[in-house]
Amino acid sequence: MDSSLQTPHQPLYRRLAAHYLDAINASTLRAGDRMPSVRELVRQHAVSLSTALQTCRFLENEGWLEARPRSGYFVKAAKRLAVPAITEPDMRKPHDAAQFVGIHEKVSEIISKGQRKIRINLGRAAGAPELYPGKQLNALASRMLRQRPNLFSKQTSPTGNKTFKTVLAKRALSSGMTLNPDDILVTYGCIEALNLALRAVAQPGDVIAVESPTFYGLLQVMESLGMRALEIPTSAQTGISLEALELAMRTTDNIKAVVVVPHLQNPMGSIMPDAHKRRLVALCENHDIALIEDDSYSALVHDGLPLASLKSYDTTDNVIHCASLHKALAPGLRLGWMTAGRWQARVNMLKYAQTRYNDEWSQSVAAEFMASPAYDRHLRQIRTALRTQRDLTADAIATYFPPETRCSLPNGGVSVWVELPTGSSSKKIFEEALKHGILTSPGLLFSNSHRYDHFMRLNCGMPFTDEVTQAYAQLGRIVRDVAG
Amino acid sequence: MDSSLQTPHQPLYRRLAAHYLDAINASTLRAGDRMPSVRELVRQHAVSLSTALQTCRFLENEGWLEARPRSGYFVKAAKRLAVPAITEPDMRKPHDAAQFVGIHEKVSEIISKGQRKIRINLGRAAGAPELYPGKQLNALASRMLRQRPNLFSKQTSPTGNKTFKTVLAKRALSSGMTLNPDDILVTYGCIEALNLALRAVAQPGDVIAVESPTFYGLLQVMESLGMRALEIPTSAQTGISLEALELAMRTTDNIKAVVVVPHLQNPMGSIMPDAHKRRLVALCENHDIALIEDDSYSALVHDGLPLASLKSYDTTDNVIHCASLHKALAPGLRLGWMTAGRWQARVNMLKYAQTRYNDEWSQSVAAEFMASPAYDRHLRQIRTALRTQRDLTADAIATYFPPETRCSLPNGGVSVWVELPTGSSSKKIFEEALKHGILTSPGLLFSNSHRYDHFMRLNCGMPFTDEVTQAYAQLGRIVRDVAG
């Protein structure tokens, strides 16, 4: 069997499908191209006839292939949304020299303004409450309260909730990670995990290579720790530029870590191809630089295919894997987790001294839900909803925004990244939109530079009601005004 | 039944005994006084004859009463706890030069050993679960789940739970603090508050003056932040030595903060006199050194009288007040809070970047309970229980430990500080006791030096069952063995 298909713990046909999906995403196979025939698949990948058939049918059901009578399977004309893709940056060198982050004031200004009466929140990076299984979680929590009268009156366990960690370890198998529950540290959200990871591997003044653009949460963590950010150009298709990163590693002192979101990058939505992941892991290993991955979104990829984590390529304990349940399961539970390779003892120490162990109730509620078939059912539903909402969002942008607008079209997640005509101030748009009760995330929050001032991140995690459509119409008018 | 007797989860005769123990402790009943007769008890407390008899026999067995033939029960000559107070240190100068903390390995070794099968946990610094209103909190939490289907599916509020902060501000009035709810930051326990406070005022390498001995949680925070500890001699009666602290401020560079537990100091239980508090606040102001107070225990002072916080003496926003509900309300809710004077904006930023905002559920549950009369009722009950348990603990130490043993006798809180004959290794005692399923906190955890190796902290937060008595008997044998 083809060695590239050996992501463990996944049915073979899904792995084969993922392989061809990679090829489609990378435009190796384009719309109209003929898919290798079933017999060719059998021969090339040493799989059974039935596996080859299952692969093609799966891709057809997911909308990637169409069967033409007597001719076989063909790559479907991608449902091209009328918005062009965002401009790819020059991927050959880092954007700027490493610098201390000074983003917090901008962010708090935005957040405090966001406290005003908001009708439509297009600024957040989470789904709307109705996309999550709130009632089911409440029912589980209620049962737990009946069964455990000491839930709040007993100290939390110093080892964390074993059941929860076991569930997480089981789920991690599909990302290619084989973890012992004891290798898992439960945290208050992925933000705490990133904090602990950076504190474990770097000191104040050290340089951290980050994607550009990246989410402001990460920049704030670095600012609060006095670390310097080195912004590496990042593609909306394939993620961080390995060329620019490699150059940076050769020419910049004191890079202590690289932080990336390999799947559904925030804010652009890029998914790193497996070959890139392998190279990135090797690159960091060779330069003895820690690799920190934030894998909070991968459960929200539209096609539901498991994605191999960077950690799954790690053979030297050099990757720190961080994730949260905030986006996929419950925005109101502050649950994240991490596995930290050679820094595990150090992050355990830092966590204990920082916030002690997470409380029992949230871990137990999440564990019970995630161990049941309800979790996969929920994930299927939220993915379907998110795909629809992404398409409707792109349609709305095509309809209401100026024709020069460009937009990322991520294959999952809760937001799109919008590129406005150069010179449009997303801060001005933010302020105007606020007057109409619409919250946006202006691009200036996503970098230490002013490089993304004409970008903005818009939420597509909300059911597309008339009110949302009207908000897009209003936002379009504001963008046209500001863009002049 | 007398309402003061309504401590749940305890046989009635024990509660009645605690009531009379209180009266003896408060000298309402003195040595030689006649105890109400069994018939009087039956009448006054509406209990059965057998309960009244059990009560008297229990108090007799515990050594508080003696039966005189044909005359009834009498209060025994004050069983002054036969354990002398612990040795006061030389209060004139700091113990050692400032040094980096290296405590974590010792602590994790102890904690990991503590994972074994423990029958009696005398190592923790919290009350036993039965001292807390678990069922009442669960009932409130259940109701909230019914009322708020989006509790877990909605992002947490960026301003924190206003109701909770209002309740905290109201309660703070009795400590002499006038706070706006917006001046309050809710944290994951007091440990996170101390973290944020230290990060706000100091950098790695800076010196922090601390009480000696102090609780290992604080030393671990400092170790994790790379700060140096300057240990200031501290009295079991009056708290930190102001003379030694003043000398340290004049002679040591780079002291950025002083951290103290003014009320029921951990581990010694000292309560700082108000005149000392005033001087301490002025001293820090004059030297432009931040003063951080951890006020987590003051609700557990036996007489229930409000204690003025250090913050209440602060006129220049130089005091950071930290507290938690972990000891007083619910060890299983990770709830702390802080008000940070001139560093408020900075701690808000650090908290946002560290763990975001605390989840809604625990804040709402705590807010509702604390706003009701049930909270004060609970505090009265837990204080009574803790007083009884402290006395019984001191008795057990007097009975079973070597006669050279000394012991703090705190007027509240959940632990006593035991001084063993010089040369006794509390680590050895810890290890021997563990073999019998008894967990202790050896003194070496409470300092960066080996100054307290012949001390240990023992929990008095547990109802004194036969099993606890037996554990003390066992521990006494071990101490005698180890002390030779």
Model confidence pLDDT, tens digit, residues B132-182? 999 999 999 999 999 999 999 998 887 779 999 999 999 999 999 999 999
Q: What is the CATH number for B360?
A: 3.40.640.10
Q: Do B332 and A188 touch (CB under 8 A)?
A: no
Residues of B in contact with A108 (CB under 8 A): 349
Q: Do B104 and A353 touch (CB under 8 A)?
A: yes
Residues of A in contact with B361 (CB under 8 A): 332, 361
- Interface contact B483, partner A, CB < 8 A: no
Q: What was the pLDDT predicted at A175?
A: 94
The answer to whether the CB of B280 falls within 8 A of the CB of B244 is no
Q: Do B358 and A334 touch (CB under 8 A)?
A: yes
- Interface contact A344, partner B, CB < 8 A: no
Task: For chain B, positions 194-213, list CB contacts with chain A under 8 A.
Answer: 195, 199, 203-204
Q: Do A152 and B334 touch (CB under 8 A)?
A: no
B294 & B199 share domain:
yes
Q: Do A359 and B130 touch (CB under 8 A)?
A: no
What do you get for the CA distance between the two ends of chain A, in Å? 57
B352-374 tens-digit pLDDT: 999 999 999 999 999 999 999 99
Q: Do A220 and B353 touch (CB under 8 A)?
A: yes
Q: What was the pLDDT predicted at B477?
A: 97
d(CA B46, CA A334): 49
B420 & B475 share domain:
yes
B346 & B451 share domain:
no
- B294 CB-side CA count, 13 A: 29
Tokens of B213: 């001995």
Q: Least CA distance to A121: which residue of chain B? A: B155
- Interface contact A105, partner B, CB < 8 A: no
B170 & B207 share domain:
yes
Residue (of A201, A196, A187, A195) closest to A222 by Cα position = A195
A272-282 tens-digit pLDDT: 999 999 999 99
Q: Do A334 and B352 touch (CB under 8 A)?
A: no
Q: Do B150 and A332 touch (CB under 8 A)?
A: yes
Nearest CA-CA distance, residue A72 and chain B, Å: 45
Pairing of strands B207-212, B255-260: parallel
Partner-chain residue, chosen from A129, A334, A361, that has the shortest CB–CB distance to B153: A129
Q: What was the pLDDT predicted at B109?
A: 80
Residues whose CB falls within 8 Å of the CB of residue A286, separated by 6 or more in sequence, listed in order: none
Domain assignment present for residue B417? The answer is yes
- Interface contact B350, partner A, CB < 8 A: yes
Q: What was the pLDDT predicted at B114?
A: 67
Partner-chain residue, chosen from A138, A142, A332, that has the shortest CB–CB distance to B156: A332
d(CA A285, CA B302): 58
- The CA-CA-CA angle for residues B183, B186, B191, to 5°, reads 120
Q: What was the pLDDT predicted at B161?
A: 92
The answer to whether the CB of B452 falls within 8 A of the CB of B441 is no
Partner-chain residue, chosen from B150, B189, B334, that has the shortest CB–CB distance to A134: B150
Helix (H, G, I), strand (E, B) or coil at A459: strand
d(CA A168, CA A149): 26
Average pLDDT over residues A437-451: 94
Residue span of the structural domain in which B53 resides: 3-75
User: How many cross-chain Cβ pairs, A to B, lie less than 8 Å apart?
Assistant: 185
Count of the separate structural domains present in chain B: 3
Q: Do A217 and B353 touch (CB under 8 A)?
A: yes
A85-109 tens-digit pLDDT: 888 888 888 888 888 888 888 887 8
Give the mutation candidate from A116, A147, A153 for the B interface (greatest B CB count, under 10 A).
Answer: A153
B198 & B310 share domain:
yes
Q: Least CA distance to B126: which residue of chain A? A: A155
Whether the predicted pLDDT of B18 surpasses 80: no
Domain assignment present for residue A440? The answer is yes
Predicted confidence band at B15 (pLDDT cuts at 50, 70, 90)? confident
Residues of B in contact with A359 (CB under 8 A): 332-334, 362
Q: What was the pLDDT predicted at A5?
A: 43
d(CA A462, CA A456): 17
Helix (H, G, I), strand (E, B) or coil at A299: helix
Q: Do A355 and B192 touch (CB under 8 A)?
A: yes
Residue (of B153, B222, B175) closest to B361 by Cα position = B153
Q: What is the CATH number for A30?
A: 1.10.10.10
Residues of B in contact with A223 (CB under 8 A): 353
Nearest CA-CA distance, residue B304 and chain A, Å: 21
B365 & B471 share domain:
no
Tokens of A177: 């990670």
A340 & A262 share domain:
yes
Domain assignment present for residue B86? The answer is no
Residues of B in contact with A132 (CB under 8 A): 152-153
Give the mutation candidate from B9, B104, B138 for the A interface (greatest A CB count, under 10 A).
Answer: B138
Q: What was the pLDDT predicted at B92?
A: 87
Residues of B in contact with A439 (CB under 8 A): none
Q: How far is CA B275 from the centre of its chain?
A: 22
Residues of B in contact with A215 (CB under 8 A): none
Higher pLDDT, A22 or A313: A313
* DSSP structural state of residue A228: E
Domain assignment present for residue B90? The answer is no
Q: Least CA distance to B143: which residue of chain A? A: A142
Domain assignment present for residue B91? The answer is no
Give the mutation candidate from B109, B191, B354, B361 for the A interface (greatest A CB count, under 10 A).
Answer: B354
Q: Could you give the ipTM of this predicted complex? A: 0.86
The answer to whether the CB of A72 falls within 8 A of the CB of A35 is yes
- B22 CB-side CA count, 13 A: 18
Cβ atoms < 10 Å from Cβ of A173:
15
Q: Least CA distance to B131: which residue of chain A? A: A153
Of all residues in chain B, what percent carry a pLDDT higher than 90? 76
Partner-chain residue, chosen from A159, A192, A361, that has the shortest CB–CB distance to B354: A192
Whether the predicted pLDDT of A2 surpasses 70: no
d(CA B117, CA B131): 22
A446 & A333 share domain:
no
Q: Do A353 and B137 touch (CB under 8 A)?
A: no
Nearest CA-CA distance, residue B39 and chain A, Å: 37
Q: How far is CA A335 from the centre of its chain?
A: 16
Nearest CA-CA distance, residue A313 and chain B, Å: 28
Whether the predicted pLDDT of B27 surpasses 90: no
B77-111 tens-digit pLDDT: 655 556 888 888 888 888 888 888 888 888 878 77
B11 & B63 share domain:
yes
Please give the mean pLDDT across all residues of chain B: 91
Compute the Cα dihedral for B260, B263, B269, B274 and give only its sign.
positive
Whether the predicted pLDDT of B4 surpasses 70: no
Nearest CA-CA distance, residue A59 and chain B, Å: 32
Helix (H, G, I), strand (E, B) or coil at A343: helix
Nearest CA-CA distance, residue B192 and chain A, Å: 5
d(CA B191, CA B197): 10
Nearest CA-CA distance, residue B129 and chain A, Å: 5
Task: For chain A, positions 363-422, list CB contacts with chain B under 8 A.
Answer: 365
Q: How far is CA A28 from the centre of its chain?
A: 24
Domain assignment present for residue A96? The answer is no
Residue (of B106, B92, B299, B68) closest to B219 by Cα position = B106
Q: Do B132 and A152 touch (CB under 8 A)?
A: yes
d(CA B199, CA B350): 8
Higher pLDDT, A17 or B235: B235
Predicted confidence band at B249 (pLDDT cuts at 50, 70, 90)? very high
B316 & B456 share domain:
no
B366 & B284 share domain:
yes
Give the mutation candidate from A354, A358, A362 for the B interface (greatest B CB count, under 10 A).
Answer: A354
A153-187 tens-digit pLDDT: 998 877 779 999 999 999 999 999 999 999 999 99
Q: What is the CATH number for A399?
A: 3.90.1150.10
Domain assignment present for residue B83? The answer is no
- Interface contact B362, partner A, CB < 8 A: yes
Nearest CA-CA distance, residue A151 and chain B, Å: 6
Q: What was the pLDDT predicted at B28?
A: 80
B35 & B145 share domain:
no
Q: What was the pLDDT predicted at A7?
A: 46
Domain assignment present for residue B96? The answer is no
Task: For chain A, positions 122-161, list CB contacts with chain B under 8 A.
Answer: 124, 126, 129-135, 137-138, 141-142, 145-146, 148-156, 158-159
